Amino acid sequence: MNHYNDSKKARRVTAVIYLLIMAVVIGGTYLSEQKKAADKAAQNLPNR
């Protein structure tokens, strides 16, 4: 039973690390898309 609890803990730690990595990837993608949209909008503005 002890081996089962150890593997259960390892799986939970791995799942948390995976979720953190995915949050960073998704957050970075979101910020990149926002920056691209802002840059495109800035290019479309007439120069003063």
In the chain, helix, strand, coil percent, each to 5? 90, 0, 10
The answer as to whether 36 is a domain residue is no
pLDDT at 48 over 60: no
The answer as to whether 18 is a domain residue is yes
| pLDDT tens figures, 14-31 | 999 999 999 999 999 999
Write out the two tokens for 2. Answer: 């002890």
The answer as to whether 44 is a domain residue is no
The answer as to whether 23 is a domain residue is yes
How many angstroms separate the CA atoms of 17 and 6, rounded? 17
The answer as to whether 33 is a domain residue is no
- Structural domain harbouring 17: 1-27
Q: How many domains does the chain have?
A: 1
pLDDT at 45 over 90: no
pLDDT at 11 over 70: yes
Q: Does the pTM exceed 0.85?
A: no
The answer as to whether 45 is a domain residue is no
- Residue 46 has phi, psi (to 5 degrees) of -70, 145
Q: In the chain, what percentage of residues exceed pLDDT 70?
A: 94
∠ CA 19-34-47, nearest 5°, is 165
